[in-house]
Structure 1
């Protein structure tokens, strides 16, 4: 059934009605206080997340699971995500768990490996790359229209399926209307944090919630595509800097010129990514506008 700690028995028991008796259980991740498993059964597969009860931040991670479940329910009610996505959620002796239907896809960084090299410079790759970006922005457009920001747009939270579609996952940090948050939002992955979010983090007390807005998602989208296509982060800084020093560099709003690091020319794609990375949120295209720009 796989190595490492098993998923909560409460989750497996409840999900048996969804997938059937498990035929394979694989621990995919065990870091930063959270664990993720793939649970496969004859009726399908799910991804199960739970907090690590032995972690120093067990209470916070359990609250994060509950927060994501609340977000999934609200986003489903708003018609943003499919009712089939959320498979179940609940408590267990160690905290909280959450399950979503499994999406077969590769994280963006791995999916774009071919495009990062000179061999990506061919006719078939261009529409494939643009199609990934278009599908991604279509999903963000639905969120933004409903008054939500994903607030954690980054390469590991976007999967590319075999047919070239982008699937967005992980809604724990999303910021929506009338938020009743358990955990204040303080940004997500540093490398894809928008300048205005970086500025707010640097200027507000550590326990202050920062409400992310759709324009921040657009910057993060551009940063993710820039990074995964070129192999370079859009803002250059030393990896040895601490997080606040990196955020200070991002807050300046200056990015590396895409033409200087692109693996091969793709003018329309480059121009759209560059527009997403405008330092002023008001100057960035909306997700709806981007769906026709790629």
Structure 2
């Protein structure tokens, strides 16, 4: 399915169903780091399953091979959030059937995060690519490699994930600590990432303005200022309830953001 950033992924189908298999690219410059990340994700899946944040059957297997590490998980039959929102991003998305569908995605996305947060974990990589939308409008999380727990020592220091959905406080921490220092992501940062992802997928704009070709440090500095683009200036059509959901997630103060549990039930 993909071969980028030092890792490869396949969909494998057999008598028992379909699984997603990931492995590091053995000849990539990042082979060692990606193998460690793969081992870390497997460790996270075991802990999250034990804590009840994941269904026991999600993790299928993992191990070593000649070129590094591999990991297999149950196949989630959905489409990435960005692609799922295609209709909603245009004016034709303003229809009665789309509104409850969008709210259902937002609430189930928050629900999946709430399960992790209740167990003391943060996903730490909340973004459109790591969330798949099922046909009935449910969101499912994938890719737990960067998940964080305050009492769980990482194999690979967390230095943020995709820049565009990075919470302001995480951006500030990344800018003010050495590159090899672990920064622990929090549930509140996940909530900001949820709001940023919904903002991005619905409007087609990232929530913080910066040039596409800007250096990552410059993008992080812009995010750390907590100045988001006014949602009503870029929304494709008015939807007050959905806009309120997104705006609540994007509060600059982490303490002012609602919990994922509260968002799931709103």
| Structure 2 counterpart of 1:212 | 185
| Pair 1:171 & 2:144 matched | yes
Using the alignment, how far apart are the partners of 2:97 and 2:146 within structure 1? Answer: 35
Match of 1:90 in 2: 63
In the alignment, what sits opposite 2:45? 72
1:240 to 195, 213, 229: 213
Equivalent residue, structure 1, for 2:90: 117
Gaps spanning 5+ residues in structure 1: where?
A: 1-27
Q: Which residue number in structure 2 is paired with residue 145 of structure 1?
A: 118
- 2:257 is aligned with 1:281: no
Determine if contact 2:208/2:229 at 8 Å carries over to the other structure: yes
Mapped partners of 2:142, 2:201: distance in 1 = 17
Q: C-alpha displacement at 1:42, in angstroms?
A: 2.7
Structure 1 Cα separation of the partners of residues 31 and 261 of structure 2: 38
Equivalent position SS for 1:49: strand
Aligned residue number for residue 48 of structure 1 = 21
- TM-superposed CA distance for 1:178, in Å, is 1.9
What's the CA shift string for 1:35-80, capped at 9, x where partnerless?
0011111321110000011011111000000000000000000000
CA distance in 1, matches of 2:151, 2:164: 28
Larger relative contact order (CA 8 Å, sep ≥ 6) = 2
Q: 2:134 aligns with which of 161, 164, 176?
A: 161
Query: For 1:100 and 1:212, how far apart are their aligned partners in 2?
Result: 24
For residues 10-37 of structure 1, give each alpha carbon's deviation from its aligned partner in whole angstroms, at most 9, with x where no partner exists.
Answer: xxxxxxxxxxxxxxxxxx1111100001
> Does 2:76 correspond to 1:103?
yes
- Which segments of structure 1 move beyond 4 Å, counting only runs of 4 or more? none
TM-score (norm 2): 0.99
CA–CA separation in structure 2 for the residues paired with 1:123 and 1:285: 27
Task: Output one character per residue of 1:252-287: Cα deviation in whole Å (capped at 9) or x when no partner.
Answer: 000000011101110011011011101110111111
Say which SS state the counterpart of residue 21 (structure 2) adopts: strand
- Report the Cα offset of residue 162 of structure 1: 1.1
Q: Are residue 225 (structure 1) and residue 198 (structure 2) matched?
A: yes
> Structure 1: how far apart are the matches of 2:250 and 2:241?
15
Match of 1:257 in 2: 230
* 1:96 Cα offset (Å): 0.3
Using the alignment, how far apart are the partners of 2:97 and 2:205 within structure 1?
Answer: 23
1:177 is displaced (CA, Å) by 4.1
Could you tell me whether the CA contact under 8 Å between 2:109 and 2:139 is conserved in 1?
yes
Q: After TM superposition, give the deviation of residue 179 of structure 1 in Å.
A: 1.2
1:184 paired residue number: 157
What SS does the corresponding residue of 1:271 show, helix, strand or coil? helix
* Alpha-carbon distance between aligned partners in 2 of 1:199 and 1:246, rounded to the nearest angstrom: 11
Q: Are the equivalent residues in 1 in contact too, given 2:150–2:184 (CA < 8 A)?
A: no
Give the number of the structure whose alpha-carbon radius of gyration is greater.
1
- In the superposition, the TM-score normalised over structure 1's length comes to 0.90
